């Protein structure tokens, strides 16, 4: 307990310097500004804004980046409520009741409650990270290559199970991601693989390039194709501060959402994405009058938004303790950390305690900042959302181009991004969901490395993965999850959850 | 989402019951074959010491099998049709990005910005030249102020070709 408080004190000491508060503020601000744009989710936002953090010291840069991340998340919810366009998968649920509330002139209350729910969830999640950080790091030190490999397999299986649509397609997307990760110089032999003789590919495909192509550019083309039906709320925004009744109805949904979101967020394989869905389903099930849902029930905003934010934050746990990014956003964080010379994993906490705890503390500061900045600025976001798409997309385009160019000062990166945009567009046309591919790509290199190490240690015997108890347990969970997901009755239920 | 089908408009006719699934399968098979060909020369090593070619080969095989399964499913299960592909959007958007990449070093942001944005804006069927010109120039000025002046990113504002004309 003492160590826990000591660490938090150290963290707040770092996070509450004037400079770091300012960086956190700027991060939240621009993150929201970009995240509010329809069709621009957190992944594209972070990839776009990554270069602006380059000029600062590692701690400052990561604090700013965390701010951008929360800003982007919250911006997505704002768009979901005001325009009925989810910025990303996790705010889909918010559109259901949030937009209905907005139509009834209660947009302000919906946004206010979303912000307060998120703040509460963020506070709990921050404490959870601080509490779980140390024990999990100890656990990580017991992990050998076989366990790491098994854990990543489990993460990928989760991603398959949680993806929408066909399971076969999701598996193929993971395989494609893993395959793309093999492009570049082989780490052990130094041999170039699949580079087509292109010099710029010898370092492999940059994650930001892939993510921006698939989640930035492909999305633009996609949006241009479907004639715009953006219905920006015309009704008044109304008061922001929820009244007594709103609060009474929201306490428990926020609490439940926070718990669900926190737990799911820790799971490898983007468990966070399930949080809002699970929270919404539960709130609807236990509500006295479930018909209110879909017609502007405040519980349908408060619960899922809390789950969303809790999960977004606890997703840092696998990254900071095990060095395994559980989703695409965290993979971008890995990229950003590596640029500053920090390799995410259990050693961060021991080697750079100021950075680690400073970042944890700044998460809480960032959440508080969002409540303070966003509520007065809602009018501005509404104005921004009224800009027609024909003017919005070239702006997104140029920001993306400048962002990608600035990461490595490389024009070929920009060209590759265009190529991956085309790939992403093709995948969408064939009904593939690209998110699992990104996760496969993220984990690919590490998985191959651990697989090779494990096989060297076991002298080429695959039984090592089953003989070691932890690895066997993780693989068993993976197999069971996959088997359950393939059962016809569960599949039906799963489809219902996602189409609701 | 896109894979939601209303059964009425997608009555299976003939052998192929889902053209989207068929296309997806064939696409994966093509990708698998391409990477297989690319990885042919890589040493595979042994299980005890995996070579650089082993994992790609395993992945390519699984991907190919997955694609094949999709082709088979496309004949068994009714599913969505392949959507119409538009050419205008991808051509102008990706073309605009490529123009940016080609122009940024030589002509700098002052030229690359407006050119790529105006070209990209042609992707929308509500294109208006005057609006596009004013908007793209204003955006470029904003970008220069934001990224160069404020954030000091090393983005070339005036490229190598134009530098002789701006000797400051």
Q: What is the pLDDT of residues A484-497, one digit of tens each?
A: 888 765 656 555 55
Which pLDDT does position B5 carry in this prediction? 43
A285, two tokens: 């099930």
pLDDT on residue B6 = 43
Question: Which of B23, B96, B116 has the CB atom closest to A430's CB atom?
Answer: B23
User: Would you state the torsion angle of the CA atoms of residues B21, B24, B27, B29, taken in this order, to the nearest 10 degrees?
Assistant: -70
Residue A480: half-sphere exposure toward Cβ, Cα within 13 Å: 6
Average pLDDT, integer, range B107-123: 93
Q: State chain A's mean pLDDT as an integer.
A: 84
CB A317 within 8 A of CB A133: yes
pLDDT at A260 over 70: yes
Min Cα separation B75/chain A (Å): 16
Here the tokens at position A379 are 């009018």
On chain A, the residues whose CB falls within 8 A of the CB of B1 are 164-165
| Predicted pLDDT at A488 | 67
Chain B contact for A193, CB < 8 A? yes
Highest mean pLDDT among A102-106, A159-163, B7-11: A102-106
Q: Which pLDDT does position A344 carry in this prediction?
A: 79
B93/A175 touch (CB, cutoff 8 Å), yes or no: no
Q: Look at residue B4 in the predicted model and tell me its pLDDT.
A: 44
Determine the Cα–Cα distance for residues B144 and B137; give it in Å rounded to an integer: 11
Q: Give A423: exposed, middle or buried? Use CB within 10 Å, 0-12, 13-18, 19+.
A: buried
What mean pLDDT do residues A445-472 have?
A: 88
pLDDT at B101: 94
pLDDT value of residue B112 = 93
> Domain extents for chain A?
2-499
Q: How confident is the model at residue B141 (pLDDT cuts 50, 70, 90)?
A: very high
Residue B135 exposure: Cα atoms within 13 Å on the Cβ side: 23
- The Cα A260–Cα B3 span in angstroms is 28
pLDDT of A418 above 60 = yes
Give A375's Cβ-side CA count (13 Å radius): 20
| Residue B3 to residue A409, Cβ atoms within 8 A | no
Residues 35-94 of B with CB under 8 A from A: 35, 38-39, 42-43, 46-53, 55-56, 59-60, 62-63, 66-67, 69-70, 73, 80, 82-83, 85-86, 89-90, 93-94
Mean of the pLDDT values across residues B52-81? Answer: 89
- ipTM score of complex: 0.89
Q: What is the largest CA-CA distance in chain A?
A: 69
Contact A401 B97 (CB under 8 A): yes
Contact (Cβ atoms closer than 8 angstroms) between residue A279 and residue A257:
yes
Per-residue confidence (pLDDT) for residue A375, from 0 to 100: 75
pLDDT at A18 > cutoff 50: yes
Mean pLDDT, range A347-360, rounded to an integer: 82
**Higher-pLDDT residue of A154, A89:** A154
3-state SS string over chain B? CCCCCCHHHHCCCCCCCCHHHHHHHHHHHHHHHHHHHHCCCCCCECCCCECCCHHHHHHHHHHHHHHHHHHHHHHHCCCCCCCCCCCHHHHHHHHHHHHHHHHHHHHCHHHHHHHHHHHHHCCCCCCCHHHHHHHHHHHHHHHHHHHHHHCCCCCCCCCCCCHHHCCC
Give the residue-averaged pLDDT of A122-133. Answer: 87
Q: Are the Cβ atoms of B104 and A414 closer than 8 angstroms?
A: yes
Residues 6+ away with beta carbon under 8 Å from A188: A452, B52
Closest approach of A228 to chain B, Cα-based (Å) = 11
What pLDDT is attached to residue A417? 93
* Higher-scoring residue by pLDDT: A462, B92: B92
Residue of A328, A405, A385 whose CA lies nearest to A83? A385
Instruction: Give the confidence band of A460 by pLDDT, cuts at 50, 70, 90.
Output: confident
As a whole number of angstroms, the distance between CA A275 and CA A309 comes to 9
In Å, how far is B167's CA from the nearest CA of chain A?
23
pLDDT for residue A337 is more than 50: yes
Q: Is B117's CB within 8 Å of A175's CB?
A: no
Joined together, the tokens standing for residue A374 give 């966003």
Whole-number percent of chain A with pLDDT over 90: 11
Max mean pLDDT among A122-126, A243-247, A296-300 falls in A122-126
Most confident of A299-308, A330-339, A463-472, B94-103: B94-103
Which pLDDT does position A494 carry in this prediction?
Answer: 55
Average the pLDDT over each of A190-199, A211-220, B96-105 and give the range with the smallest value: A190-199
Q: Which of A8-12, A284-288, B163-167 has the lowest mean pLDDT?
A: B163-167
State the pLDDT confidence band at A419, using cuts at 50, 70 and 90. very high
Contacts of A459 in chain B (CB under 8 A): 48
Backbone angles phi, psi at B45, to 5 degrees: 70, -170
Say if the Cβ atoms of B97 and A414 lie within 8 Å: yes
Share of chain A above pLDDT 70, in %: 94
pLDDT at A495: 56
Q: Which of B10, B22, B24 to mutate to test the interface with A (most CBs of A within 10 A)?
A: B24
Q: How far apart are CA A286 and CA A406, in angstroms?
A: 50
Is residue A89 packed enough to be buried (19+ CB in 10 Å), middle (13-18) or exposed (0-12)?
A: buried
Closest to A302 measured CA to CA, from A346, A348, A352, A248: A248
pLDDT for the residue numbered B118: 94
A285 touching B (Cβ < 8 Å): no
B117 and B135 Cβ atoms separated by less than 8 Å: yes
Structural contact between residues A40 and A392, judged by C-beta atoms closer than 8 angstroms: no
Nearest alpha-carbon partner for A272 in A318, A211, A313, A320: A313
The Cβ of residue B4 has, within 10 Å, a number of other Cβ atoms equal to 9
| pTM for this model (two decimals) | 0.86
What whole-number distance in Å separates Cα of residue A363 and Cα of residue A62? Answer: 10
Greatest mean pLDDT among A61-65, A276-280, B21-25, B48-52 lies in B21-25
């Amino acid at each position: 307990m003492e160590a826990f408080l000591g660490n938090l004190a150290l963290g707040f000491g770092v996070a509450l310097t004037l400079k770091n508060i300012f960086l956190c503020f700027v991060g939240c601000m621009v993150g929201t500004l970009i995240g509010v744009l329809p069709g621009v989710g957190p992944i594209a936002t972070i990839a776009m804004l990554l270069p602006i953090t380059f000029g600062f010291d590692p701690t400052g840069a990561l604090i700013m980046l965390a701010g951008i991340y929360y800003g982007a998340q919250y911006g997505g919810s704002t768009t979901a409520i005001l325009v009925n366009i989810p910025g990303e998968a996790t705010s889909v649920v918010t559109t259901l009741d949030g937009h209905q509330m907005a139509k009834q002139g209660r947009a302000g209350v919906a946004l206010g409650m979303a912000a307060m729910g998120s703040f509460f969830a963020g506070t709990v999640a921050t404490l959870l990270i601080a509490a779980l950080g140390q024990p999990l790091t100890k656990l990580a030190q017991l992990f050998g290559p076989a366990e790491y490999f098994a854990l990543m397999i489990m993460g990928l299986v989760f991603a398959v199970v949680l993806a929408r649509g066909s399971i076969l397609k999701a598996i193929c997307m993971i395989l494609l991601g893993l395959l793309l990760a093999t492009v570049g110089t082989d780490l052990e032999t130094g041999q170039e693989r699949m580079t087509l003789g292109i010099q710029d590919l010898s370092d492999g495909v940059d994650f930001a390039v892939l993510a921006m192509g698939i989640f930035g550019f492909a999305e633009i083309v996609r949006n241009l194709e479907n004639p715009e039906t953006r219905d920006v709320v015309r009704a008044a925004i109304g008061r922001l501060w929820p009244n007594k009744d709103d609060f009474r109805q929201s306490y428990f949904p926020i609490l439940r959402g926070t718990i669900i979101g926190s737990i799911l967020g820790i799971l490898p394989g983007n468990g966070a994405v399930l949080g809002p869905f699970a929270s919404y389903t539960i709130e609807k099930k236990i509500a006295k009058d479930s018909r209110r849902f879909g017609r502007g029930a405040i519980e349908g905003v408060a619960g899922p938004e809390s789950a969303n934010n809790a999960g977004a934050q606890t997703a840092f746990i696998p990254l900071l303790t095990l060095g395994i990014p559980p989703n695409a956003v965290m993979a971008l964080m890995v990229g950003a950390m590596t640029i500053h010379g920090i390799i995410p994993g259990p050693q961060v906490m021991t080697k750079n305690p100021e950075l680690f705890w400073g970042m944890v503390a700044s998460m809480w500061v960032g959440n508080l900042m969002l409540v303070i900045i966003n509520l007065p600025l809602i009018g501005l976001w509404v104005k921004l959302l009224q800009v027609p798409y024909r003017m919005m997309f070239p702006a997104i385009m140029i920001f993306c181009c400048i962002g990608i160019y600035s990461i490595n000062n490389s024009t070929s990166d920009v060209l590759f991004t265009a190529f991956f945009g085309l790939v992403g567009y093709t995948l969408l046309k064939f009904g593939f969901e690209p998110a699992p591919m990104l996760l496969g790509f993220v984990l690919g290199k590490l998985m191959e490395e651990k697989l090779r190490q494990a096989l060297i240690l076991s002298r080429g015997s695959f039984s090592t993965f089953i003989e070691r108890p932890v690895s066997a347990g993780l693989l068993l969970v993976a197999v069971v999850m996959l088997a359950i997901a393939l059962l016809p009755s569960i599949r039906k239920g799963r489809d219902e959850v996602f189409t609701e | 989402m896109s894979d939601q089908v209303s059964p009425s408009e997608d009555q299976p006719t003939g052998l192929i019951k889902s053209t989207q699934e068929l296309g997806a399968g064939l696409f994966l098979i093509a990708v698998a074959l391409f990477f297989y060909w690319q990885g042919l020369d890589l040493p595979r090593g042994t299980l005890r010491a995996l070579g650089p070619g082993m994992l790609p080969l395993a992945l390519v095989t699984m991907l190919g099998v997955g694609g094949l399964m999709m082709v088979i499913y496309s004949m068994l299960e009714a599913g969505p049709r392949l959507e119409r592909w538009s050419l205008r959007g991808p051509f102008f958007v990706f073309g605009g990005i490529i123009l940016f990449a080609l122009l940024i070093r030589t002509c700098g942001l002052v030229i690359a910005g407006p050119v790529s944005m105006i070209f990209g804006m042609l992707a929308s069927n509500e294109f208006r030249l005057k609006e596009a010109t004013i908007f793209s120039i204003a955006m470029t000025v904003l970008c220069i102020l934001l990224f160069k002046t404020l954030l000091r990113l090393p983005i070339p504002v005036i490229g190598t070709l134009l530098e002789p004309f701006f000797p400051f």
